[in-house]
Structure 1
Amino acid sequence: MWVIDGALNFAPYFGLPLGLLIVPVVIFRRWKLVALAAVPFMLWAVVMLSVNLLLVRGRSCSETAGLRVVTANVLVGNLQLSALADAVLAQSPDIVVFEELTLEFEDFSPVLAKAYPYRISTETPWVTLASRLPLEDMRRVPLDPPIPGREPLAARVRVGDQTVTVLGTHEIPSLSTITYREHGKQYDLLEWEILQATGPVMVIGDINATIYSPQFLNFLRRSGVRPVSAASQQPTHTPTLNLSIRIDHVLIRGLAACDEQVFDLPGSDHDGLVVGVRLK
């Protein structure tokens, strides 16, 4: 199952080879086979359209109180963390979730540390949820059995007259039967936190899945959160064969999206994602 799920992360790239199946039968005028050859392409197009209907598009943020949030996978061992911190600061986010970060902010950017005094990290340093605004009820959501650095982070922040639940996560890549199950356990924890939350919710982080992953789609269906993205789905990572995909996400419930943009993270193999959200 993990092989199929992983392959479907690249589903947008299936269109060209499926479309090419139609060319030979047209060239050789095998008209009865044209319809048969076109079926896989048409099914692909329907799936692409259906999945993209889940995306939350941006609107104006001027009407009500809002937040700017960033997810940034820094790449463990990155030697350009100071420059990366400057790139994040240039986006002026209110909340940031860093993935693969094993250092304290003070170790590479005192400016970042001062700008984001409210923060919590996984027990084994790997994910950090940081905020300019005061965070309430900061906690780690334990995995059973524990997986170092992979427990989701939870907090609440006041925005206008409402409290927004914020969840930070870095999902385990589904590269085997075991990691596929572990990936699913992280979804289960996030789903529980989302369904227990009253009011608006944001999930921020490196999900290690695109919106075409059946496992991710099932999580979206069960939890009720939706990805913020333009129809173009700007990629944030290029894992193999120069096939770029969006695996870093901001998921929302009970909030409206204002805008979203991908930006460069010096020294990382990911791009950062900044999203504006507002209260409905």
Structure 2
Amino acid sequence: MTRANTAETRQGSPDRSDTGSVAARARIHRTLRGALRPEPWKRGLVLAALALLLGLLMLLHARITDRGGLGSLVETFLPWFGLFVPVLLAGALWRRSASAVAALVLPVVVWLSLFGGTLLDKSHAGGDLTVATHNVGADNPDPAGTARDLAASGTDVLALEEITPQAKPVYERELAKGYPHHAVLGTVGLWSKLPLSDTRPVDIETDYGPLADTKPVDRRTAESRALRTTVATDRGPLAVYVAHLGSVRVFPKTGFSTGGRDRNARALGEAVAAERNERVVLLGDLNGTVDDRALDGVTSRLRSAQDAAGDGFGFTWPTRFPLARIDHVLVRGVTPVSAWVLPATGSDHRPVAAGIDW
């Protein structure tokens, strides 16, 4: 009886060699399954590469060639590159890719280093003077309404760009009550509650246009896109520049064209550099953002009121869905304490204002 039971027990027990083969097959199965279904760090390598490229693009944007205006185009819309981060993050989570999530650290850090401070409210109460600028638009269907809206803002100094001969008397009439002092040269003008003096055109084509010096003075004034004047304040004279740089064009064959704008920017930068007054304010439509390398001649000498004392990006163009801040208040020798975007008017630009302090 005992021997039989022992024999039956031996027959029911698995053989050691069989156990080893089962374990080997399990190991092979796990290996094949791992090869066919990569671990989280092996998934989403394409997404990881795209995240790294995005970070490098924002980090090294200044090294992008400006041939065909590519560099200016990238820098104009540079803040919007941050929108690719949540898109890539969604893809990384869907793929359950740890490598893609880790790679996204680079663009996040770069974007925050470039624009993180922009999201903070840096404005303060007070200010000795409020200034504003607005490209009123040559095709503005309601210049009178635009003038009334701007007058209601209560700013002390108001700059207008793209003033047409037909709209000029309308602005002069509607702004006369609130702004007893004004000067208009060509398509730009300045209205002020304080006295103006030494108003003159700034030839932003000087030394760059082959016919700039051959034009008669009255013709250069009529075609002026920039002026310089002195505002008499209780704290001393303030040099104010109003400028409208050349438009950026897109051509099918040559691409993103910025030649005229760039020439204007260089000439304007030289004019500001030669300014003897310590306190300077530049108001205008520069057709470029402060990140655009083409404006370095201006932005290296003046600082942005929006960046120093604003809240958010302050996008101004186009009106319906602003994508870029191309209208600016730039200063030197005074301190911006606040900056904001005014409500839309009949123009395709939004007006911007700033409070400055001595």
TM-score (norm 2): 0.66
Counterpart in the other structure of 1:141: 202
Counterpart in the other structure of 2:136: 74
Contact 1:75 1:270 in 2 (8 A): yes
Q: Secondary structure at the match of 1:101?
A: coil
Counterpart in the other structure of 1:269: 348
Tell me which of 234, 245, 269 is aligned to 2:324: 245
Aligned partners of 1:74 and 1:243: how far apart in 2? Answer: 16
Superposed CA offset, 1:124-155 (max 9, x none): x3211222222121111112325984532101
Aligned partners of 1:218 and 1:47: how far apart in 2? Answer: 20
Counterpart in the other structure of 1:181: 259
1:227 aligns with 2:304: yes
Aligned partners of 1:226 and 1:248: how far apart in 2? Answer: 13
Aligned partners of 2:330 and 2:243: how far apart in 1? Answer: 11
Aligned partners of 1:239 and 1:4: how far apart in 2? Answer: 24
Counterpart in the other structure of 2:291: 212
Aligned partners of 1:187 and 1:164: how far apart in 2? Answer: 21
- The number of residue pairs the alignment matches comes to 269
Contact 1:154 1:167 in 2 (8 A): yes
Counterpart in the other structure of 2:50: none
1:40 aligns with 2:107: yes
Aligned partners of 1:239 and 1:87: how far apart in 2? Answer: 15
TM-score (norm 1): 0.83
Counterpart in the other structure of 2:124: 59
1:89 aligns with 2:156: no
Greater share of helix: 2
Q: Where does the alignment leave 5 or more consecutive residues of structure 1 unmatched?
A: none
Q: Where does the alignment leave 5 or more consecutive residues of structure 2 unmatched?
A: 1-65, 213-219
| Aligned residues: CA RMSD | 2.9
Amino acid in structure 2 at the alignment position of 1:99: E
Aligned partners of 1:156 and 1:258: how far apart in 2? Answer: 21
Counterpart in the other structure of 2:95: 28
1:15 aligns with 2:79: no
Superposed CA offset, 1:15-59 (max 9, x none): 121342244334434334443344334323322247x49x99433
Counterpart in the other structure of 2:53: none
Q: Secondary structure at the match of 1:172?
A: coil
Amino acid in structure 1 at the alignment position of 2:156: D
1:254 aligns with 2:333: yes
Aligned partners of 2:293 and 2:116: how far apart in 1? Answer: 15
From the superposition, tell whether residues 265 and 126 of structure 1 become closer, same or farther in structure 2 (CA, over 3 Å).
farther
Q: By how many angstroms is 1:243 displaced? A: 5.0
Contact 1:172 1:179 in 2 (8 A): no
Fraction of identical pairs, as percent: 25
Amino acid in structure 1 at the alignment position of 2:190: L
Amino acid in structure 2 at the alignment position of 1:276: G
From the superposition, tell whether residues 36 and 149 of structure 1 become closer, same or farther in structure 2 (CA, over 3 Å).
farther
Amino acid in structure 1 at the alignment position of 2:303: R
